[in-house]
Structure 1
C-alpha cells in the first residue's frame, strides 16, 4: 500500500452546531475505520474546516474527490497538500478533532488566503511535511473538546 496524505481547507455553507459536528465526526470515524484512514479535522468559528486524511492513495482520493468535494455543506475547497507519506502523523486517530480559532487556522495554513490557489506556488515544494507537523503540534498542545474526542 502506498501511504498517502491529503490536506484541504473549506468554508461551510452554514455554521455547524455542536450536534452537527458530533454527527459528522461519528460518521467520519465509521467510514475511516472501514477504509483504513486516519486524520484530523479542525473547525473554526468562522466556518472554516482544515482536514487531514491519511491512508491508501486510492481510498484518500476517493473520499476527497467523490464525497467531500461534492458535499453541499462545503464551498471554496482548496487542496493544500496531496502526496506520499513516509509514516502516519495521526495513526491513532480515525478522525481526531479540535476546535480552532480563525487566527490559528490562518497561522497553520501560512498566513495567507486560500481563496486564490496561487498562494501555494512559492511554498509548494516544502508544504506537505511542515504543514502536517504544524497540524500535529497544534492538536497535541491544545485542549480537546470534551464531547468530541476522537
Structure 2
C-alpha cells in the first residue's frame, strides 16, 4: 500500500463544546481504526480545525470528500496538503488531539495569498513535509486536554 496523507483546515459552524469535541473524537477514532487511518486534530476555541489524515489514499479521500466536506458542522474547508508519504508521522494515534490557539494555527499553516501561483505550493505532492514537521513539533510541545486524549496502548 502506498502511504498517503491529507491536511485540511476548516471552520466549525459554531464553537464546539468539550462534550461535542469528545464525541467527534470518539467517532473519528472508531472510523480511523476500522479503516487503517492515523492522524491529528487541532482545534482552537475560535472554531478553527486543522486535521492530518494518514493511510491509504482511497480511505483518506473517501473520508475527506464524501464525509468531512459534507459534514454540516464544518464550512470553509481548505485543502493544505494531499500527497504521498514515506512514513506515518502520527502512527501511534488513531486520531490524536491537541488544543490550539488561533495564533498558533495561523503560525503553523501560514497565510495563503492568491496574488500569484505560489498559494498552490502546499497542495503539490511531496512538498508538505515542513508542514507535517511543524505540526509534529507543535504536538510534542503542547499539553493535551486529558479528557480528550486517546488512551495509551
Output the TM-score relative to the length of structure 1.
0.92
Residue 98 in structure 1 maps to residue 98 in structure 2: yes
3-state SS in 1 of match to 2:86: coil
SS in 2 for 1:24: helix
Pick closer, same or farther for the CA change 1:42–1:114 going to 2, 3 Å: farther
Matches of 2:2 and 2:16, distance apart in 1: 34
State whether residues 41 and 52 of structure 2, in contact with CA within 8 Å, keep that contact through their aligned partners in structure 1: yes
Q: CA deviation at 1:120?
A: 2.2
Pairwise CA RMSD of aligned residues?
2.1
* Cross-structure match for 1:120: 119
Quick one: distance in 2 between partners of 1:123 and 1:134? 13
Q: 1:84 to 1:146 in 2, by over 3 A?
A: same
Deviation at residue 70 of structure 1 after TM alignment: 0.3
The answer to whether the 8 Å contact 1:78/1:115 transfers is no
Aligned residues: 149
Q: Is the 8 A contact 1:8 1:79 kept in 2?
A: yes
Unaligned runs of 5+ in 1: none
Write the distance in 2 (CA, Å) between the matches of 1:114 and 1:35: 35
| Equivalent-residue separation in structure 2 for 1:39 and 1:140 (angstroms) | 14
What is the rounded CA distance, in whole Å, between the counterparts of 2:112 and 2:47 in structure 1?
14
What secondary structure sits across from 1:50 in the alignment?
strand
2:51 is paired with a residue of what secondary structure? strand
Task: Name the CA distance, whole Å, in 1 between partners of 2:102 and 2:70.
Answer: 24
Equivalent residue number for residue 132 of structure 2:
132
Structure 1 residues 102 and 55, CA gap change in structure 2 (3 angstroms): same
TM-score normalised by the chain length of structure 2: 0.91
